Amino acid sequence: MTDATTTRPVFDNGVSAVPVRELSPTGSFEPTAPYRLFDLDPCTPVIGAEIGGVDLAQPLTTELHAELHRALLEWKVLFFRDQRLTALEHRDLARWWGTPEIHPFLPKAEIPEVVLLSRGADSPAVENVWHSDVSFHTTPPMGSILRAVHIPGVGGDTLWADMGAAYDGLPDALKQRLDTLTAVHDFTKTFGQQLSADELARRQEKMPPVAHPVVRTHPETGRKLLYVNSIFTSHIVGLPDDESRELLALLCDQARHPEYQVRLRWRTGTVAFWDNRATQHYASADYYPHTRVMERVTIVGDRPR
């Protein structure tokens, strides 16, 4: 089925798909059109690309934003080296893609929209688990932009996994089953552990558990994506506890396959921008007790469907 105005495919849920790159006869994924305004160097055949020739501290143009957005949809995570951004410039960059979110729990940098992730001897890293950001919200972020402020001499890499590829790799019978399931996402098992009973109750009233599809459809590409993660997904609705735990463990484990991953070695000034709808990420905690300081802006997204 096609959309008469755009000739793009329209999926059963009404999503009009943005074209994405296709596998060429040589075995590489080709972009839908050349990139004119920057250089793009793929990091793997599946996910991740390094962008050259863009200064993110300068205001974007409409044309540059459109090309960067197409690259984000095609490669899921983009890397920019040698950037020098202030917190305000970081926030303003994110505004090209939507409304920056103010995180309900994490510490802030100079302005509320910028999260400060400072880890070291007195604050060991806790991000070394596969997850997507803030999936416990009704409308989880569409993307996150992370910049390296201070990096240890070695270690502290971040990995991303393509959850569309992870879904594609599942057996067809399991895919059919998953398409009908929903799962509950809840902050309680992570951020809730540091709250008093009264504060936890207050936060739970403001942010109650929310159910999302186990397999969501990307609102722009129409791609099916696994949408459960081990730190925020508590259970699958309607399944016995033991069956829910077993199935969740299997699905969360899909992010661990290297064939679906890209790994970034940070340098001070590196910026990573990822599609939070299509990926999970994992920050390696191998640098303890050295210091790693990052700043992040997340961008409000849509309700998963």
The amino acid that residue 131 corresponds to is H
List the beta strands (DSSP E) in the chain: 22-23, 29-30, 39-42, 49-52, 77-80, 115-119, 143-150, 158-162, 182-185, 210-213, 215-217, 224-226, 233-236, 261-264, 271-275, 279-283, 292-299
- Per the CB < 8 A criterion, the answer to whether 38 and 273 are in contact is no
Is 296 considered catalytic here?
A: yes
Burial of 289 (0-12, 13-18, 19+ CB in 10 A): exposed
Contacts of 228 (CB under 8 A, 6+ apart): 183, 214, 236, 248, 251, 252
Question: Which one is catalytic: 92, 133, 162, 186?
Answer: 133
Cα 197 from chain centroid? Answer: 31
Residue appearing with tokens 């997507």: 132
Instruction: Provide φ and ψ at 174, rounded to 5°.
Output: -70, -40
Is 235 considered catalytic here?
A: no
Is 212 considered catalytic here?
A: no
User: Cis peptide before 124, with omega less than 30 degrees from 0?
Assistant: no
Is 65 considered catalytic here?
A: no
Question: Which one is catalytic: 70, 91, 119, 131?
Answer: 131
Longest CA span, the chain:
60
Question: Which one is catalytic: 119, 137, 147, 281?
Answer: 281
Indicate the pairing of strand 77-80 with strand 49-52: parallel
Instruction: Provide φ and ψ at 178, rounded to 5°.
Output: -65, -30
- Smallest CA-to-CA distance from 277 within 172, 119, 171, 137 is with 137
Cα 301 from chain centroid? Answer: 11
3-class SS of residue 39: strand
Tell me which residues are annotated as active site: 131, 133, 281, 296
